[in-house]
Chain A
Amino acid sequence: MTRNLRTAFFSALLVFAVAVPVFGLKLTTVGIRLEVHGSDAQTFWIIAACAVAMFFWQLFRHHAAAGWAASPNLPRVPAGAGNFLTLPSTQRYIIIGLILLALVWPFFGSRGAVDIATLILIYVMLGLGLNIVVGLAGLLDLGYVGFYAVGAYTYALLSHYYGIGFWVALPIAGAMAALFGFLLGFPVLRLRGDYLAIVTLGFGEIIRLLLRNMTDLTGGPNGISGIDKPTLFGLSFDRRAAEGMQTFHEFFGLEYQSINKVIFLYLIAVLLVLLTLFVINRLLRMPIGRAWEALREDEIACRALGMNPTVIKLSAFTLGATFAGFAGSFFAARQGLVSPESFTFIESAIILAIVVLGGMGSQLGVILAAIVMILLPELMREFSEYRMLMFGALMVLMMIWRPQGLLPMQRPHLELKR
């Protein structure tokens, strides 16, 4: 009982520790300074109530569980529930539900929320792309952000120098990233495991340093600004259209609202994520998807069966890079500004953390993990200095409790029908 009491006490304390800074403190801008104020009394009462609830829950949890098990009439969580959630067919329904939700809610959400959701979707795309390389093909790539940068700068440069629009630049950016993936992959895919990780890490940094130092072309550390936003079949979402263009609100006779632009960007991101999901789902059921898995399991056996390991790895590397390229060009379009500082190693680490956290190879897991990884720091801006500490703690806890990831992959198995 004393042990229960202690656990309960610390749990309640934890509720305070987490909730008070998040909900209890408000930042307000006073002139050019930020001031921290306490929230209203009601918030504190709610937090206190939650803490008390947590205290009693922890105290009587075992009794409750025992009572639950003793009474056979009560419905029970079936033993297969966890398993059920990770089945491919269930995941498909969940994904369809999420898609519908994703398409509808921005029209009711706030501008800031939609903006953060767009950012999350970029990371979902990056996570899904890296998932091909790390989760499916089993190649540890620490320089994935390099391809992201290639995609972003491809669009930025095309827009800056040639005035090419987003929709034309998108496939070009994907192709450029793929080309870089191919060129890098060709020499380094002979390496395995740790060695591959180190070389790709170096590659990511090389790309960033190149972008930083090729000042004439890329603007160096200042980057490129004034990148065009995407248009809807030539309709821009700005207040006033550029020469020879029409704006969305004029065309449809609507009032100008800046949130339209945000929602439009969000919908493009949803579209790109759906495309990525579709491609990956097909890949899993294609011979190349099976070959990736086989290669991850036993490279020597693959060679003995006449499969060329280099080509198979290269295909994974190139495809993964392509999606980073798409994500990159969208990122550039959304920000309107790219600079080398957006593509530091920490970005690679975050993307990799998303893949590992979600469960290697699992698509739903990656989506979930991207939400967690991006939303948490946004919600806890007050803790921004402790962000890395929190990531570390999160990773350690995950590795202890759920080393296979939030929602580990269950690959769709092909069945022999009789």
Chain B
Amino acid sequence: MSRPILEVSGLTMRFGGLLAVNGVGLTVHDKQVVSMIGPNGAGKTTVFNCLTGFYQPTDGKILLDGEAIQGLPGHKIARKGVVRTFQNVRLFKDMTAVENLLVAQHRHLNTGFLSGLLKTKAFRKSEHEAMDFAAHWLDQVNLTDIANRPAGTLAYGQQRRLEIARCMMTRPRILMLDEPAAGLNPKETEDLKALIGMLRDTHGVTVLLIEHDMKLVMSISDHIVVINQGCPLADGTPEQIRDNPDVIKAYLGEA
């Protein structure tokens, strides 16, 4: 077992009187695929929002490589290598696919004002590298053909893949995918599974997944966390979860 890259303990999020997340704990090991499942409204996305700094958690600890990151603003957490996608795709719709990928590299580019103004050699080199990196990832997610089309005009499945590629532009360590298979057909879901597998095995990315497609979750996850009504319900390998009576009860109701 590799070392834990993300450790979450006692994560609590309260909106006024509503306790959306209550004491959720989570340990994610390096280069694993960890899934978070639970019925609708269980608080999975809220956990994501807390982990990525979009919400400030009311209580709890989030350790990334042993460093506390709770309460940091979203862009700082993203810079530490925790990058997410959204349940409803959030691409820059008027920009082309390749421009979406270039924007995401903003932080790694030569953003010096004068060098850009005068088009120095360093600036052109940096732009060139960015373009190559974007082209590489467009190829990886099989979108090279539509590279110059506005992102808003792409098919839904393509937009999903582009969003994942865009995350990869930031060279993340943990990739958090919020229902990546929602709205995909079975073929596209298979492709997505292969893509996630590749991200983990070839690119050494840790993947944290929220997903309702049980077939996908069970086949790809190294570890599963179940949340119900904001509380942690179960936690274990896919086999353990499948046979856990509490999980079955939460999903199917009282027998």
Q: Which residues of A contact B (CB under 8 A)?
A: 279, 282-283, 285-288, 290-291, 293-294, 297-298, 300-309, 413-416, 418
Contact = CB atoms under 8 A, between A and B. Distances in A.
Contacts of A298: 90-92
B106 to A, nearest CB: 5
Given A305-B83, A306-B79, A308-B75, A294 B103 contact: yes
B90 A300 contact: yes
A304 B78 contact: yes
A308 B91 CA distance: 17
Nearest to B132: A416
Interface of B: 52-54, 73-76, 78-79, 83-84, 86, 90-96, 98-99, 102-107, 109-111, 113, 116-117, 119, 127, 131, 134-135, 138, 144, 147-148, 166-167, 169-170
Nearest to A285: B116
A306 B92 contact: no
Contacts of A418: 144
Contacts of B134: 416
A302 B92 CA distance: 9
Given A293-B95, A294-B92, A300-B90, 19 more contacts: A283-B116, A285-B116, A287-B109, A287-B110, A288-B111, A288-B113, A290-B106, A298-B90, A304-B74, A304-B90, A305-B78, A305-B170, A306-B106, A306-B107, A307-B103, A413-B95, A415-B98, A416-B131, A416-B135
Contacts of B127: 287
Contacts of A301: 86, 90-92
Contacts of A308: 75
Contacts of A309: 75
Pairs of residues from A and B, 10 with the lowest C-beta to C-beta distance, nearest first: A306-B78, A286-B116, A416-B147, A301-B90, A303-B74, A306-B79, A416-B98, A294-B103, A297-B92, A287-B109
B94 A416 contact: no
B209 to A, nearest CB: 16
A interface secondary structure, majority: helix
B249 to A, nearest CB: 35
B52 A304 contact: yes
Contacts of B144: 416, 418
Nearest to A286: B116
A308 B84 CA distance: 16
Contacts of A288: 111, 113, 116
A414 B138 CA distance: 15
A293 B92 CA distance: 8
B166 A305 contact: yes
A298 B92 CA distance: 7
Contacts of B96: 413-415
A205 to B, nearest CB: 31
Contacts of B95: 290, 293-294, 297, 413
A305 B99 contact: no
Contacts of B93: 297
A291 B138 CA distance: 20
Contacts of B52: 304
Contacts of B83: 304-306
A290 B111 contact: no
A282 B54 CA distance: 33
A415 B148 contact: yes
Contact of A305 (B53, B98, B167): B167
A287 B90 contact: no
Given A287-B116, A294-B103, A297-B95, A414 B75 contact: no
Nearest to A305: B104
A303 B72 CA distance: 12
Contacts of B166: 305
Given A287-B106, A305-B170, A306-B79, A293 B86 contact: no
A418 B143 CA distance: 13
19 contacts: A282-B116, A286-B111, A287-B109, A287-B127, A290-B99, A290-B106, A294-B95, A297-B94, A300-B54, A302-B103, A304-B78, A305-B83, A305-B103, A305-B104, A305-B169, A307-B106, A309-B75, A413-B96, A414-B96
Contacts of A287: 102-103, 105-106, 109-111, 116, 127
A170 B104 CA distance: 36
A301 B53 CA distance: 13
B131 A414 contact: yes
Given A305-B83, A413-B148, A416-B135, A291 B106 contact: yes
A307 B75 contact: yes
Contacts of A303: 53-54, 73-75, 78
Contacts of A286: 111, 116-117
A304 B103 CA distance: 12
A252 to B, nearest CB: 34
Contact of B94 (A283, A293, A305): A293
